[in-house]
Amino acid sequence: MMQPSSVIDLLDRPLGVLRLSLTARCNLACPYCCPDSVEPQGLLSTLDQLRLIHSACALGVHTLRLTGGEPLLTDRLWPLLEALSVGRATPGHPLSRLKDLAITTNGSLLDDAKAQQLRALGVDRITISLDAVDAESIARMAGLRRGAEAGLELFKRVLAGIDAARAAGYEPDEGALKLNAVIQRGRNDDQLIPLARLARQQRMELRLIEYMDVGNRNGWCLDQVMPATEMIQLLHSHWPLQPIGRQPGGTSSQWLYQDGEGSIATIASITEPFCSDCNRLRITADGQAFTCLFASEGIDLRRWLRMDVSDSELAEVMTQLWTGRSDRFSEDRGLMQVGNHHAEMAYLGG
């Protein structure tokens, strides 16, 4: 079957990926992310979420990533997945155009039952976030007050989550199970090599994320950004690497370990922005659409859902939203005014 063509924005970028945040709440309190402990007013219902996903698929979205806050913290995940799974299996249904369904989680709530349920309901890929292997460092990065003891507990839970995902059929070698780590200079840059060692042992691709100036609460400053090139130099001195590059529309640049032990990736949003082929639309748990992670304000889609618009009217609203898009905030960073208001990462979902 021919894929529907995608809507194109003012910079010729097709819509391809939807990141839907299911909750703004998180069970961790990472200081670089600063999640909320309460939900925003007016969360989307499962029906609202489905209507938005349908419209997005009709406009060319082929990949859906579920995120948060912590998506495994909300029971609303499961009815959504059930409906997605039925729609994807129905020929001709807008959801049958969804080729890839992924979830980003801190892994601490992932047990065998949940991993199997994710698998059974058609989640194709799981990305697990972990920023350190040393217990003290884990606790600091996750904002845990009880220090090393709590850090060790979290580490064990995340490792158990990885085991559960693998047992449910998420194969790292097939790219179905990956590890995310934010690297902050002076906070956890000493964890880069230990994290890479862990990922190599687990045969998981580690994706090293530059610390981003998303949100206003984390006190971001450029001094705390470790550029991806520096991360790669350090890794290369331990395990020689061979560059593969970045897929068009992708966020990560990949390197192969020359010893054949898999790959590693960087997400260099700050030092090597990739706005030119950005294909991502983000929708928050309360229905605000953001075409850029670094934007200050979203567009309120919930308002349209509450007005009971038809599916074609909703698709038209989303078409307008994408076709009017010209943002490339990360490339324009140098031109942006210091002190600009940014939406919070835990609200946007990464």
Give the interface segment with ligand SAM, choosing from 9-17, 78-86, 206-214, 333-341 (CB under 6 A).
206-214
**45-84 binders of ligand SAM (CB under 6 A):** 67-68, 70
Give the interface segment with ligand SAM, choosing from 100-108, 255-263, 277-285, 302-310 (CB under 6 A).
100-108
Q: Which residues have CB under 8 Å from 125's CB, separation 6+?
A: 100, 101, 102, 103, 170, 175, 176, 177, 178
Residue 319 has phi, psi (to 5 degrees) of: -65, -45
Helix (H, G, I), strand (E, B) or coil at 303: helix
Give the interface segment with ligand SAM, choosing from 26-34, 165-173, 250-258, 279-287 (CB under 6 A).
26-34
Give the interface segment with ligand SAM, choosing from 7-15, 104-112, 257-265, 276-284 (CB under 6 A).
104-112
Query: Does residue 349 interact with ligand SAM by CB under 6 A?
Result: yes
Query: Does residue 105 interact with ligand SAM by CB under 6 A?
Result: yes
Annotate 212-259 with DSSP letters as a single string.
---SSSS---GGGB--HHHHHHHHHHHS-EEEEEE-TT-S-EEEEETT
Query: Can you tell me the distance from the alpha carbon of 185 to that of 227, in angstroms, rounded to the nearest whole number?
Result: 9
CB 27 to ligand SAM: min, Å: 8
Which residue in 218, 251, 263, 266 binds ligand SAM (CB under 6 A)?
218
Query: Does residue 345 interact with ligand SAM by CB under 6 A?
Result: yes
Which residue in 23, 63, 180, 202 binds ligand SAM (CB under 6 A)?
180
Amino acid at 290: F
Question: What's the gap between Cα 347 and its chain centre?
Answer: 12
Give the interface segment with ligand SAM, choosing from 157-165, 168-176, 204-212, 301-309 (CB under 6 A).
204-212
Residue 58 or 158: the one with the smaller Cβ distance to ligand SAM is 158
Number of shown-chain residues binding ligand SAM (CB under 6 A) = 21
Q: Which residues have CB under 8 Å from 258's CB, separation 6+?
A: 239, 240, 241, 242
**Beta strand extents in the chain (DSSP E only):** 17-21, 63-67, 100-105, 125-129, 177-183, 205-210, 241-246, 253-257, 263-267, 280-283, 288-290, 299-300
Query: Does residue 137 interact with ligand SAM by CB under 6 A?
Result: no
Residue whose tokens read 């890839």? 100
CB 282 to ligand SAM: min, Å: 11
Query: Does residue 346 interact with ligand SAM by CB under 6 A?
Result: yes
Query: Does residue 204 interact with ligand SAM by CB under 6 A?
Result: no
Tally of CB atoms within 10 A around 89: 11
Which residue in 24, 26, 44, 281 binds ligand SAM (CB under 6 A)?
26
Say how many residues make up the chain.
Answer: 350
Residues 114 and 161: beta-carbon distance below 8 Å: no
Residue 253 has phi, psi (to 5 degrees) of: -100, 135
Which residue in 15, 33, 61, 343 binds ligand SAM (CB under 6 A)?
33
Which residue in 23, 55, 129, 253 binds ligand SAM (CB under 6 A)?
129
CB 247 to ligand SAM: min, Å: 19
**Closest residue to ligand SAM, based on beta-carbon distance:** 350
Query: Can you tell me the distance from the alpha carbon of 296 to that of 343, in angstroms, rounded to the nearest whole number?
Result: 5
Q: What does the binding site for ligand SAM look like in residue numbers (CB under 6 A)? A: 26, 32-33, 67-68, 70, 104-106, 129, 180, 182, 209, 211-212, 214, 218, 345-346, 349-350
